Structure 1
Amino acid sequence: MKNILVAIDRKQEAEQLIAKAVEIAKLSKAKLWIIHVTEPDPDDFLAREAGPQYVYDKRSEKRKEEAAIIQEWVEALKKENEVEAEGLLIEGPVIKSLRKITEKHQIDLVVAGHRKKNFLYSLFTANKKKDLVDELNIPLLAVPLDKKHLK
């Protein structure tokens, strides 16, 4: 195993997911890729003109903050854990973006968080973990997230 991707959805999950990925990376001397996928801006000029500028400014500022946080995690990993790491902030649909990254960087394992949902919720939403496994065709480690870390 040479490359492990850590898919971060929320900042609160990061510590737990990165810790699990570091364990595996140390055992296999793998490189960690810390990834966060964010929503894309509209591609066409007309769609961009339709909304107020402050929406785009706020989204841009949020992306800068997210990118800075990812870089902090990467630097901490390099210093504290002696693990090779890179961080990426990507715009686009989650599954499609992760597929591109796994192919481009020859990812061997994806580490993602898992939150328990109630039955009614699961009836009306897509199963992203199953979609990821089907789409990526590489192993996915679903880490159960502690509720105390998510508040």
Structure 2
Amino acid sequence: MKNILVSVDFKGKENLLIEKAKELGEKFSSKVWLIHVAAPDPDFVGYDAGPQFIRDNRADILREERRYLQDFAESLNQNNIESEALLIQGATIETILQKAETLEIDLIIMGHQSHGIFYEAFFGNVSESIIKKSKIPVMVIPLD
């Protein structure tokens, strides 16, 4: 197992995923890729990219998310586990699967939290969709 992809969503329990990646990375001398898929920029019909304050706020959020990812990667690197952080804007499921194929990932690690029926109806279930569509093994860590 040369490459492990860890999907991070910044909902507060990332450390559980990072710890599992660290454990597997040590055992198999794997490179750990940390990925966060940020929502694409909103389209404002008839405008360039929306009002300036919205663009500034969005840029601040993306910078903060990138910094968090880099911190996780540096922590793994300090433990002698080669690691890189990727922050990509796009559709979550498609982006994860595309990157997994491009990076020749051997295992995808992601978390799962239970949500109510209304949340599932509106937002779906990313881990379930990845499991159904992936040709790569997926390890799902319960985060509840």
TM-score norm. by structure 1 comes to: 0.85
Task: Say if 1:39 and 1:92, in contact at 8 Å, map to a contact too.
Answer: yes
Query: Does 1:61 find its partner at 2:60?
Result: yes
Secondary structure of 1:12 counterpart: coil
Q: Is the deviation greater in 66-75 or in 84-93?
A: 66-75
Task: Say if 2:111 and 2:127, in contact at 8 Å, map to a contact too.
Answer: no
Structure 1 outlier segments of 4+, above 6 Å: none
- Structure 1 vs Structure 2: percent identity of aligned residues? 36
Corresponding letter in the other structure for 1:145:
L
**CA-atom RMSD, angstroms?**
2.1
Report Cα offsets for 1:6-52 as digits up to 9, x if no partner. 10011512111100111111111111001101011257884535x32
Higher helix share: 1
Secondary structure of 1:4 counterpart: strand
Corresponding letter in the other structure for 2:97:
R
Determine the C-alpha separation between the residues in 2 that align with 1:123 and 1:70.
26
In structure 2, runs of 5+ residues without a counterpart are none
Q: Tell me which residue corresponds to 2:121.
A: 124
Q: Tell me which residue corresponds to 1:85.
A: 83
Q: Is the deviation greater in 13-22 or in 124-133?
A: 124-133
- In the comparison of the two structures, how many residue pairs are matched? 143
Secondary structure of 2:109 counterpart: strand
Determine the C-alpha separation between the residues in 2 that align with 1:92 and 1:74.
21
